[in-house]
């Protein structure tokens, strides 16, 4: 045996040793010398501890999830009432073709939904605000294929297999939404990158590329202002409410506040209601009746006296400001006319009230 053959033999033997020292089970990752460095011992959201603590599955740990997925059928919270619709599930199912090309195998399908989506209307108006937001998203997710202006000349489209047609954006809004959601041909599904509102905003931006579509000049700041003004409706002035009240009808004066157990008006809280009543009386020749009511706690005689004293306090204020005493009547009903049950604190608070009636 010459030395060359010996070298070959030694090398062969070394290779044999290296291979034979591997574990038989092909799926085993082998020994883990520092498991904590790649298997987090920390309590983490959605982590299955049965799997991560050791490479062998430990079933005694499998149920120690630190967070659970939301229950099926629930809808994510939305800060704005108008945005709730975007958290509802998308009503269209993927078609069989989308299932095959985009691994959506766990979903049901409906081959007619792609065609039917033509009828779906963009719920977002074509405002400058939506267009701007859509543009930002388009540049992040679409430009590299569809090109800046939608001509299908993005950088990725240099590859002859990925060449979106320039006509891609000539489709109806609803159908574009469908294809962005589930993908089309080589274009992937974008439902996990863009939520429903964002998908409609991208469509708004696509629409704005066509100069025939008029963009409403409303910036995001203006939009925020107009929606908050819808939510905070102008409070109706009390003298206006009194003017529209029919004779015999009554109104609870929510903002007439008295010190507890007394007929002293809390002027800081009651001033504006009193002034509104004055304005009404000065501009009209009608007479008013003020009725005091209490809850059912305490002595009923005392309740009656207190409710009358409170109605009289309102009268004195008005008379002190130039209204003839003959135009104002007062009554104290104590707890004899509850509006709601006195069983809860809330109910009792509603029953303690001063009402005004047009005579």
| Interface residue with ligand HEC, options 131, 142, 277, 281 (CB under 6 A) | 142
62 close to 49: Cβ distance less than 8 angstroms: yes
| Interface residue with ligand HEC, options 180, 215, 253, 313 (CB under 6 A) | 180
| Interface residue with ligand HEC, options 92, 184, 197, 293 (CB under 6 A) | 184
| Interface residue with ligand HEC, options 156, 191, 278, 309 (CB under 6 A) | 156
Residue 133 interacts with ligand HEC (CB under 6 A): yes or no = no
Question: In 320-354, which positions are buried (b, 16+ CB within 10 angstroms) versus exposed (e)?
Answer: eeebeeebbebbbbbbeebeeebeeeeebebbbbb
**Interface residues for ligand HEC in 199-258 (CB under 6 A)?**
202
Residue 116 interacts with ligand HEC (CB under 6 A): yes or no = no
Rounded least distance, CB 128 to ligand HEC, Å = 19
Residue 168 interacts with ligand HEC (CB under 6 A): yes or no = yes
Residue 174 interacts with ligand HEC (CB under 6 A): yes or no = no
Stretches 77-85, 175-183, 225-233, 315-323: which one binds ligand HEC (CB under 6 A)? 175-183
Give 29's contacts (C-beta < 8 A, 6+ positions apart): 55
Tell me the angle at which helices 196-209 and 173-182 cross, rounded to the nearest 10 degrees.
130
Q: Which CB, 179 or 294, lies closer to ligand HEC?
A: 179
Q: CA 161 to CA 242: how far, in whole Å?
A: 74
Rounded least distance, CB 124 to ligand HEC, Å = 14
* CA angle in degrees (0–180, nearest 5) for 99-101-106: 30
Residue 162 interacts with ligand HEC (CB under 6 A): yes or no = yes
Stretches 54-62, 160-168, 210-218, 284-292: which one binds ligand HEC (CB under 6 A)? 160-168
Q: Residue 112 burial by CB count (10 A; 0-12/13-18/19+): exposed, middle or buried?
A: exposed
Q: Residue 152 burial by CB count (10 A; 0-12/13-18/19+): exposed, middle or buried?
A: middle
């Amino acid at each position: 045996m010459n030395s060359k053959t010996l070298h070959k033999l030694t090398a062969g033997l070394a290779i044999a040793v290296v291979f034979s020292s591997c574990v038989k089970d092909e799926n085993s990752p082998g020994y883990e010398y520092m498991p904590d460095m790649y298997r987090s011992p920390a309590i983490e959201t959605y982590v299955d501890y049965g799997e991560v603590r050791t490479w062998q599955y430990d079933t005694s740990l499998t149920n120690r999830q630190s967070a659970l997925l939301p229950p099926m059928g629930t809808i994510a919270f939305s800060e704005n009432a108008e945005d709730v619709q975007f958290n509802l599930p998308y009503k269209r199912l993927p078609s069989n073709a989308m299932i095959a090309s985009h691994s959506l195998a766990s979903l049901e399908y409906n081959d007619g939904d792609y065609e039917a989506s033509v009828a779906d209307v963009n719920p977002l108006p074509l405002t400058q605000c939506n267009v701007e937001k859509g543009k930002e998203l388009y540049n992040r997710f679409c430009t590299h294929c569809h090109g800046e202006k939608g001509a299908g000349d993005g950088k990725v489209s240099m590859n002859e297999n990925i060449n979106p047609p320039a006509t891609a954006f000539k489709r109806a809004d609803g159908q574009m939404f469908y294809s962005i959601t589930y993908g089309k041909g080589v274009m992937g599904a974008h439902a996990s990158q863009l939520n429903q509102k964002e998908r409609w905003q991208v469509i708004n931006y696509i629409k704005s590329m066509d100069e025939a579509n008029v963009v409403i000049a409303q910036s995001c700041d203006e939009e925020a202002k107009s929606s908050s003004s819808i939510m905070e409706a102008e409070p109706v002035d009390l003298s206006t409410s009194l003017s529209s009240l029919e004779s015999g009808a009554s109104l609870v004066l929510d903002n007439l506040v008295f010190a507890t157990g007394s007929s002293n008006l809390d002027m800081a809280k009651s001033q504006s209601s009193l002034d509104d009543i004055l304005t009404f009386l000065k501009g009209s020749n009608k007479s008013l009746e003020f009725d005091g009511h209490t809850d059912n706690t305490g002595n009923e005689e005392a309740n009656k006296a207190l409710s009358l004293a409170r109605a009289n306090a309102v009268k004195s204020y008005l008379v002190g400001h130039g209204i003839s005493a003959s135009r104002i009547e007062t009554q104290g009903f104590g707890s004899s006319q509850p509006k709601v049950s006195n069983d809860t604190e809330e109910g009792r608070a509603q029953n303690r009230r001063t009402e005004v009636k047009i005579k």
